Amino acid sequence: MAFSLALAGLASDMLDLHSFFYHNLERADQAELAQEITRAGLWQSFLAQASVVFVLTAIFQRLRWRYRERTYRYALLEAGHVAQNIYLAVEAVGPGTFFDSLVNQLLGVDGTEEAALYLLAVGPRQEEQVNDS
């Protein structure tokens, strides 16, 4: 498998994971993990409230034999596909990632001919607080 899925549980009411395949899932100090995920996620505080944070990683060597010089590009595309499937699966079992109707209303779209599909949060880097070396 070229992709690895890291699962970080940040709340005591995590989704039932019995039906999902996962490689490695360990209990961690939730307060400490929430703080570290928030820090690594550019200090976006909503990450600390998430029940689960999915982290996708690519093992480039496992893709390189097939895609050669386009390995990085295809890894990014595949990560997008995996993220889309995660969102679809989560929506199907109930929790979802955002309130579709509220976002549609906020954007002034009808939800039928045009509808919100993703809600991606991005914030400014706070370089003085992050030491990414």
107 touches 100 (CB < 8 A) = no
Q: What does the DSSP assignment read for 55-123?
A: EEEE-HHHHHHHHGGGHHHHHHHHHHHHHHHHHHHHHHHS--SS-HHHHHHHHT--SSSS---------
pLDDT at 69: 93
Residue by residue, pLDDT tens for the chain (133 residues) are 565 544 444 444 445 544 444 445 555 566 777 788 788 777 778 777 777 777 777 778 888 888 899 988 988 888 888 888 887 887 777 766 678 888 889 888 898 888 877 776 555 555 545 555 4
Token pair for 131: 């030491």
Which pair of tokens denotes residue 49?
Answer: 């409230």
Contact status, residue 122 vs residue 46, Cβ threshold 8 Å = no
- Distance separating alpha carbons of residues 87 and 81, to the nearest angstrom: 10
Which DSSP helix (H) or strand (E) runs through 107?
helix 100-107
